[in-house]
Structure 1
């Protein structure tokens, strides 16, 4: 499922004004057990900076909060980068952070969830992102068992607080209703966008893939969606797939090289 060279060339030909939007964990950076130690694969930030200098709008669209991803990824090295955090609940641009108000129901869950999670055993912990909460089971002895049990117990508690529960890779995320990465893409795909590329690795990236595909069909402009990793649902929905963040970095470098060969699409 490697990208059709013609589709990559079509993005390169329209690079000035193109949107290059990417997830962070599992896409630009490998998934690791300690999220605070996550870093992009070598060279990819330099490549994204080169794409930005060639005229592309670079955006990182993530379930993490924008400030954390900015620091972990050294994203300020990318000219005019936009970071859409918490599935579109906040946007960082030119040093300014726009964010939604905290839902009232999160306060109650911060109190009620830790005792419940302790019943699930060691290695299960709650990450507080201010506008969302994430239950991590990656370090549990039997992550799938824990997630199955919590997947039965948590929905009524979450719904009672007016929030939504979403599954991910060995996590369950509690967040504001009617928000997804498509929310962020709909804000980033502006009338002057000349082409669009999105890459992601998890179930939460499916709405963003759909948003780019719908935009391309509506406008007739080039669009390309990329699944990173082996998640079957994502690979089925995407235009192409790569095996890892390192392979995505190679693809992005190819895009930049193609654009430079073409003189940036000019």
Structure 2
């Protein structure tokens, strides 16, 4: 079983409650850092090699399975091989939901079409001004990831990626505000997108669509905070079981540590916990 945070007994009890309610449980998972190891080039990210078999086995025991990510929905479907996973789930009468761009885009195994809004006003002007701001702060070699509805500025390629990200935070925040946009800082990345949508809203949409009796959510970074908070609030309001899983890989404990019930070691740890849940749910 995973390391339990902050109170081992409390985390173990929450895990047991979700396992006992597995048939009514919604499992929501982030992608990068949770199902896919963090890599220097975001375009080369791939889902963990064991994820497909683990997720399909888990889906047979739970009510619904969803991927909730900051990536574009179509991109994560491709990188994660999610269409094939959705096919396997369909064979057992289960659905796979994908919420991309923090919930702005949606895809499901039954529809196979990405639905989402047009790019936010101001994004084009922001992108045009971005290279000049990066050069002004000595970060012209930052990797710019265009997501359609957002832009990610990655600093992983620098020798001092955390320092560069910290140096860029204020100027990018200012530039984003000039164009009616907001920033979402993460691990060696600063994402710029339209305000008003976050993973907490995605959780609310899933609750409305799925009507779960319990929720497990796993994530690894700042962008998952609102999802953690939404799950916690839902559990408090309904009295239903919840389990918040922090996928932690690296020397620094991140902002999710104090919100989480269970802490695991990166995607390997996440998949280990999901294997445990599949096994323990079968014994209920």
User: Normalising by the residue count of structure 2, what TM-score does the alignment of the two structures yield?
Assistant: 0.87
In structure 1, stretches of 5+ residues that fail to align are: none
1:254 & 1:148 partners in 2: Cα distance?
38
Give the match for residue 36 of structure 1.
Answer: 43
Task: Describe the SS at the equivalent of 2:23.
Answer: coil
- Which of 84, 100, 106 lines up with 1:85 in the alignment? 100
Give the match for residue 7 of structure 1.
Answer: 14
In structure 2, stretches of 5+ residues that fail to align are: 90-94
Give the match for residue 56 of structure 1.
Answer: 63
Give the match for residue 193 of structure 1.
Answer: 212
Q: Over the residues paired in the alignment, what is the CA RMSD in angstroms?
A: 1.7
1:44 shift after superposition = 2.2
Contact 2:213 2:241 in 1 (8 A): yes
1:242 aligned onto 2:242: no
- Which of 179, 182, 188 lines up with 1:170 in the alignment? 188
1:57-108 CA-partner distances (Å, limit 9, x unpaired): 1100000001111111111214211110011111112213220221110011
Give the match for residue 120 of structure 2.
Answer: 103
Give the match for residue 170 of structure 2.
Answer: 152
2:127 & 2:268 partners in 1: Cα distance?
36
Contact 1:197 1:223 in 2 (8 A): yes
Task: Describe the SS at the equivalent of 2:99.
Answer: strand
- Which of 213, 218, 231 lines up with 1:212 in the alignment? 231
Give the match for residue 149 of structure 2.
Answer: 131
Give the match for residue 129 of structure 2.
Answer: 112
Give the match for residue 16 of structure 1.
Answer: 23
Give the match for residue 201 of structure 2.
Answer: 183
2:180 & 2:39 partners in 1: Cα distance?
31
1:223 & 1:121 partners in 2: Cα distance?
41
Task: Describe the SS at the equivalent of 1:41.
Answer: coil
Pair 18,70 (structure 1): closer, same or farther in 2 beyond 3 Å: same
- Range 120-129 or range 242-251, more displaced: 120-129
1:5 shift after superposition = 3.6
- Range 82-91 or range 96-105, more displaced: 96-105
1:122 shift after superposition = 5.7
Contact 1:11 1:222 in 2 (8 A): yes
Contact 1:20 1:57 in 2 (8 A): yes
1:256 & 1:196 partners in 2: Cα distance?
14
2:12 & 2:130 partners in 1: Cα distance?
48
1:126 & 1:19 partners in 2: Cα distance?
34
User: Normalising by the residue count of structure 1, what TM-score does the alignment of the two structures yield?
Assistant: 0.93
1:147 & 1:9 partners in 2: Cα distance?
39
1:121 shift after superposition = 3.9
Pair 110,12 (structure 1): closer, same or farther in 2 beyond 3 Å: same
